[in-house]
Structure 1
């Protein structure tokens, strides 16, 4: 029980340090979030609008204060607001969670069944041509990066 508690404390510390590191790196990124949001409409936005947007987003506050606000909101389950979809991030995720899980489960089941059947065939015809073809294809597919297979599909 004590080791599980210690492991949990280490996990929370690691998660906090990682979140702080990513937050700091993103804060010092050369990409200006306001200019990225405005995009090509920068010429149409008056100069006094820029500080108003920064204040609305909290970018005028010190880094530690922005991190504390963000981290406390994350702990409460408030993931923020998506400017791309013009909706809360939790709604955007929940709307896409069902189809993503269905795709994940069906792909997992299909690959498990196909792997079992191909393994049975390869085991039945050990050291013969079906086994050699299945083994060669297995090695070939295992050596291809998954992101490349995802792009091809």
Structure 2
């Protein structure tokens, strides 16, 4: 992998990223403009104002200009890093997203790591013991959890561990009446456990089933049968010939799950009243905060794009056999 190939790869990804952001921006803006949401009414909240004052607000929010003009000004502001002012928080959208996203990224990062590691291990164990009670238990769990909405799993965990057992707080990022700057690490961590547990339990099912099926397929291949004929068996056989062939696609699948991870975080944060980007997105949608909602849509697009980019990079870092081929394509 030389410097020119690396520049070519990242240049191609940069062009795709710019096209994606422009397309998402225009599409989201058009959909919100066609919706019955009126930023002026959302800002006034049924307050009585004169027609002159309403016209001033319409000019401020740009609702009295053609759609093409709105899109043009929106894109200009976007490239300048200006996403407008949130109607809920009365603060720049960029500042709100940075503040809320930091809490969500911690939640999603821990959940992503746990779901990937535990899901992969469960898949390996189930695949090695195909047809056993362990394999059947893993399959039943994966099928059940994939059929259940993440918010339902979250409410179930909330009722069991917070309401009935009382082991953890019922929600929120900090105790009521305490400033976030005054919260201890233990108080913060205990309120992160249940949301993290929910996202992890939901996220590990796809990777576990995929790993199981891939391992079963690898263990039934000709080269593994040849290895068995030479006396290899048990976990040594799985480690030497199974894991190395399923690790790369499993990691790629895990990186590609960023979109599902973000969607699950939106619902889970709402269940546990966790002050992250997901709960903020729901609030922006319910309270007609168009600038904030558009900003969160762009953030989610960036988040998913980064996941896909990391999935591509995992090929070049893990499997040296395809580095040159992919970079030269």
Q: TM-score under structure 1 normalisation?
A: 0.76
Stretches of structure 2 that go unaligned for 5 or more consecutive residues are 154-263, 272-329
Question: Which runs of 5 or more structure 1 residues have no equivalent in the other structure?
Answer: none
How far, CA to CA, are the matches of 2:50 and 2:95 in structure 1? 32
Give the Cα separation in 2 of the matches to 1:67 and 1:116: 45
Question: Hey, what's the Cα distance between the residues in 1 that align with 2:26 and 2:37?
Answer: 18
Q: CA RMSD of the aligned region, Å?
A: 3.0
| CA 1:36–1:114: 2 relative to 1, 3 Å | same
User: Which gives a bigger RCO, structure 1 or 2 (Cα 8 Å, sep 6+)?
Assistant: 2
Q: CA deviation at 1:84?
A: 0.7
More off after superposition, 26-35 vs 8-17: 8-17
Match in the other structure for 1:48: 52
| 1:31 aligned residue | 37
Please tell me whether residue 59 in structure 1 is matched to residue 68 in structure 2.
Answer: no
- The answer on whether the counterparts of 2:77 and 2:83 sit within 8 Å (CA) in structure 1 is yes
The whole-number CA distance in structure 2 between the counterparts of 1:102 and 1:63 is 38
Distance, in Å, in 1 between the alignment partners of 2:11 and 2:128 is: 48
User: How far, CA to CA, are the matches of 1:91 and 1:144 in structure 2?
Assistant: 35
SS of the residue corresponding to residue 75 of structure 2 reads helix
Total equivalences in the alignment: 151
Report the 3-state secondary structure (helix = DSSP H, G, I; strand = E; otherwise coil) of the residue aligned with 2:139: helix
Q: Could you tell me how far apart the structure 2 residues matched to 1:131 and 1:28 are?
A: 50
> Do residues 114 (structure 1) and 118 (structure 2) align?
yes
Aligned-pair distance for 1:94? 1.0
Cα pair distance change 1:18/1:96, threshold 3 Å: closer
In the TM superposition, what is the alpha-carbon distance from 1:92 to its structure 2 partner? 0.5
Q: Deviations over 1:67-114 (max 9, x none)?
A: 211101111211211111111111101112222111111101111232
92-101 vs 22-31, greater mean Cα deviation: 22-31
1:70 corresponds to which residue? Answer: 74
